[in-house]
Amino acid sequence: MLLRSTTAPRPLSVIPAAASEARRPTALPSRAALTSVDSFTPAAKARPSTGTGSSPTDGLKDKALIQALHDAAAQHKDLGYNQARKIIFTALDNHDGKVECVYTGRELATDKIPNSNDMNTEHSWPQSKGATGAAKSDLHHLFPTDSKANSIRGNYPFGVVKDVKWSQDGSKFGKDANGQLVFEPRDEHKGNVARALFYFSTVYGKPIPAGDEAVLKQWNKLDQVDSAEVSRNDAIQGYQGNRNPFVDDASLADRISDF
Ligand SMILES: [Ca+2]
């Protein structure tokens, strides 16, 4: 209610073109996709203020902040899994005809959903840990990955690998300092993973274990939001009608002491 009363609605149809065209044109959704989302209006208010003006989350922290962010971001269109994958491989993460694995950097030239033994869709929040229903198809935590790297990550938590059992192009799998098996994405994806999981926890009401949370908050600072991540957030709003507020304002995570 707070957000609804203080945040001016922003028409979906103007956002991707105005906000991201100059940054990364290939990330823009197709006109057909935009049109299909135009009729879905409830989440059009989702973008929080990132300027110097007041924001509906000003002064909030912990549970109150989680609730406000949930109210702003949770309502969105469930694309369905097939459509979500099609968007990822043909538009959202397809740049100049190629899709890049977020873990290894391997590129694949494709104009369709690839063979799942080659490259597939990573659920940053694993399906086995709650990414089911609409969450299974929520683009904010889905990324293209090399199928082998995806399989090695499995549903292990993210963490800092000390005893390396597998590594490729900066991503690692192995035991952390406590002897727990964890997956460590390459540096340039560490922040993206952190912000995706903060989003997931907030929108779907899932807790993040304390040890994982400490690492993710470090990664949120280590790998800061870049123009490609902003552009992807813009484009996803065009498809499913909501934004990741932790990308819009990376400082929000540190105002939440326990996800
Ligand atoms: Ca990054």
Concatenating the DSSP letter of every residue in the chain gives -HHHHHS----GGGHHHHHHTTT-GGGSPPHHHHHHHHT--GGGG-PPP-SSS--TTTT--HHHHHHHHHHHHS------HHHHHHHIIIIITEETTEEE-TTT--EEE-SSPPPTTTEEEEESS-GGGT--GGGGG-GGGEEEEEHHHHHHHTTPPB---SEEEEEETTEEEEE-TTS-EEEE--HHHHHHHHHHHHHHHHHHT----HHHHHHHHHHHHHS---HHHHHHHHHHHHHHS---HHHH-GGGGGG-S--
Distance 92 CA to ligand 1 centre (A): 16
Distance 76 CA to ligand 1 centre (A): 24
When mean pLDDT is compared across 36-45, 82-91, 181-190, the lowest value belongs to 36-45
Distance 105 CA to ligand 1 centre (A): 12
Average pLDDT over residues 134-139: 98
The predicted structure's pLDDT at residue 56: 83
Distance 189 CA to ligand 1 centre (A): 4
The predicted structure's pLDDT at residue 49: 45
Average pLDDT over residues 207-228: 98
